[in-house]
Amino acid sequence: MWGGRFASGPDAIMEAINASIDVDRHLYRQDIVASKAHAAMLAQQGIITADDAAKIAHGLDTILSEIEQGKFTFERALEDIHMNVESRLAALIGPAAGRLHTARSRNDQVATDFRLWVRDTVDALDHTLADYQRALVDKALEHAGTVMPGLTHLQTAQPVTFGHHLLAYVEMAARDRGRFADARRRLNESPLGSAALAGTSFPLDRDMTARALGFDRASANSLDAVSDRDFVLETLAAAVICAVHLSRLAEEIVIWTSPLTGLMRLSDKFTTGSSIMPQKRNPDAAELVRAKAGRIAGALNALVIVMKGLPLAYQKDMQEDKEGAMDAFSALSLSLAAMTGMVRDIVPDAGRMKKAAGEGYATATDLADWLVRTLKIPFRDAHHVTGRIVAEAARSGTPLHRLPLAAMQAVEPRITDEVFSVLSVDRSVKSRTSYGGTAPRNVRTQAKKWLRKLEKEHR
């Protein structure tokens, strides 16, 4: 490739550290489609002949077919996907292959290929996230009225419904999809034609190649185009936030399915056993989703560190932009598929969940609200009165809804037996009718709204 300047070949170690074909071979489809667009533009502009362009396009189609059929031999000595393709093209069509690299560099080539790859990955992740949302919404609608304990600090707080809990993750996934869409919108510009760093003297039509590749525009600065990798960083940042959301639900599944809580159960499809303890049912799928969040975050951190001190323009350090990112996006896709499966698979124990929801005096806030609403007591005073009543219930070991009226009246004489109408967990969740609240009616409304939205997207 650069034999005119160098008298001998590289040391074996140099060849090993310099080669990227083991990673960037995954860009083969994007590399070929970008090369076809470049050749067509060169012919349109009269830079190469139409005959050479036709030979190049036919040769590239042949190479694509060879790769997809597993008949292509990738050679490490050729370093990367670009030179592997170009070398094979020369073997297929002869000297015309040498004209393909006119007015471009591997710098703008790889920037174009990787943008195309990341864009394709974002589109695939969006579909996977939509499937995950549908699984959550279906389960939420099924369990719109299934009561469970709502926790803060992992302590019993207030009763909620399982459907409401699941819809929280639907909202998170919606924001994840929005972040990916934002990243896609910014990355969707074409570096092709920026050449090594300074542009080119050939009369290119960069808008033509941008359109052919589905980009919104050509990049406006050649230096930026070849040396920027913030499109990878931004997409990885969206992936990290998404993975954190998945990890939070995975952690909850681990807690819910533990015999210590026994609130839910996963089938054999998403659990494993122990090599020594026959009774074990381990939530390994959830645990691995939880772990992969760290792996994805590590990829973002690694690329940030690679890029943080690089002057313009291209530096070889940037060859390290792909392996971690590709691994991270693959891990996220697998995590999403696993979470979607677990959401569809999980079966709540409604009776146990309802019992747990009533423990820990979870309807104490309902009592305080009743004091405010019925007795017109300021909330801070009602909070204090309720705290004293809860203390009395705890002292006697009595659930709040079974505490004798006389015991409550000893703290606040104006309390009547009407108070018992708000102290059950069912009444508690039904009363939370404010927009965004846990009332089953709200949950059904929101779930149906999401189903309509997701169905519309699918069409």
Residue 153 annotated in active site = yes
State the sign of the Cα–Cα–Cα–Cα dihedral 184, 322, 213, 202: positive
What burial class does residue 329 get, using C-beta atoms within 10 Å of its C-beta: 0-12 exposed, 13-18 middle, 19+ buried?
buried
Residue partners of 401: CB distance under 8 A and separation at least 6:
358, 363, 420, 423, 424
Phi and psi torsions of 193, nearest 5°: 105, -5
DSSP readout, 184-230?
Answer: HHHH-EE-TT-TTTT--SS---HHHHHHHTT-SEE-S-HHHHHH--H
Helices 323-345 and 106-142: crossing angle in degrees, nearest 10, is 10
Q: At what angle do helices 162-187 and 106-142 cross, to 10 degrees?
A: 160
Is residue 274 flagged as an active site residue?
A: yes
Catalytic residue, chosen from 65, 267, 274, 396, is 274
Residue with tokens 């591997």: 106
Please tell me whether the peptide bond between 328 and the residue prior to it is cis, using omega within 30 degrees of 0: no
Give the number of other Cβ atoms within 10 Å of residue 12's Cβ.
8
Q: Among residues 8, 153, 201, 275, which one is catalytic?
A: 153
Half-sphere exposure (CA, 13 Å, Cβ side) for 426?
4
**What are 217's strand-pairing partners?**
189
Q: Do residues 368 and 390 lie in contact, with contact meaning Cβ atoms separated by under 8 Å?
A: no
How many Å apart are CA 365 and CA 376, to the nearest integer?
A: 15
CA atoms of 419 and 439, how far apart (whole Å): 19
Give the distance from CA 288 to its chain's centroid: 15
Angle subtended by helix axes 28-44 and 81-93, to nearest 10: 60
Nearest to 35 by CA among 74, 75, 76, 85: 85
Active site residues: 153, 274
